[in-house]
Amino acid sequence: MGNRIVSIGGGNMGSAIIGGLLAQGYNKDLISIVEPNAETRTKLTQELGVDVEPKISSLKKADVVLLAVKPQIMQSVVEQLAPLINRRRPLFISIAAGVTTTQLASWISQEVPIVRVMPNTPSLVGRGAAALFATANVSRVERELAQTIISAVGLAEWVDKEDLLDIVTALSGSGPAYYFLIIELLEKISIELGLDAALARKLFIETAHGAALLARQSTSSPGTLREQVTSPGGTTERALKVLSDGNLEMLLRDALTAAHQRSRELAEGME
């Protein structure tokens, strides 16, 4: 690619995406970051080696604008950008949760292509899982460009309806926290049963990682993989019965439904 990319915001997610692109060989001279915090600017310059500026003036050179700021300040940031894009029609990629493409378009006040992305925190280690939605005026080439950029930090898949991103938020956006909670609780219980704390954490994290890899690489369904671990009358069967009797499915359904609803509420609150 030879597109000039400007990230508005140099926080964890924005810098992770830029870092991922650089790791794949993207020309650092084609990348710049706008970051108002002086300490963060210094850190980004040292770690990434790209141009880091305090103001949005660099947008005049952008083919792609990565909007990597908090949802609460997105409107004020985008409204600052609007007067600067008259001479160029950049592709906007937003990774802000709860900010819709309709809202972004109204703040920009111009007809521009917008891709909205719901990433997750494993993107920080290059293992993210993101869903993307494009407005109708995003071209095929721009879709490919957006997917390539987000793929620099993990999986990037398209959804054809924007409201599906609320479900993605509940599943993969919030999903890492569900797994961290399970790791936390099983580690705690294993320690109570007598296992060393460091060993408990190491064993279960590696178990979770291995199970995920197996599920990813296997042609079998998760249900079949579960059955393969579960011997009749064995330890796994007894543990799974406890989870089933405790109605784990209902608990997870309620959790995802609550996260889905909250995602919709946040989007409505931005209007």
Indicate the pLDDT class of residue 87, thresholds 50, 70 and 90: low
- pLDDT score recorded for residue 1: 53
Indicate the pLDDT class of residue 271, thresholds 50, 70 and 90: low
- pLDDT score recorded for residue 15: 94
**DSSP-assigned letter for residue 125:** G
Cα three-residue angle 126-130-134, rounded to 5 degrees: 135
- pLDDT score recorded for residue 176: 97
Cβ–Cβ under 8 Å, residues 156 and 147: yes
Measured between alpha carbons, how far is 200 from 197 in angstroms, rounded to an integer? Answer: 5
Owner of token pair 């957006």: 146
Percent of all residues in the chain with a pLDDT value above 70, rounded to a whole number = 97
Q: What is the pLDDT of residues 66-82, one digit of tens each?
A: 999 998 999 999 988 88
Q: Using CB atoms within 10 A of its CB, is residue 17 exposed (0-12), middle (13-18) or buried (19+)?
A: buried
Query: What domains, with CATH codes, occur in the chain?
Result: 5-165 (3.40.50.720), 173-267 (1.10.3730.10)
SS3 at position 117: strand
Higher pLDDT, 45 or 59: 45
Strand ranges for 68-152 from DSSP E: 91-94, 114-118, 128-134
Is residue 88 scored above 80 in pLDDT? no
Arithmetic mean of pLDDT over the chain: 93
- pLDDT score recorded for residue 84: 77
- pLDDT score recorded for residue 97: 87
C-alpha distances out from residue 46 to 51, 56, 60, Å: 10, 20, 24
State the average pLDDT over residues 59-71. Answer: 89
Q: What is the pLDDT of residues 183-224, one digit of tens each?
A: 999 999 999 999 999 999 999 999 999 999 999 999 999 999
Higher pLDDT, 61 or 190: 190
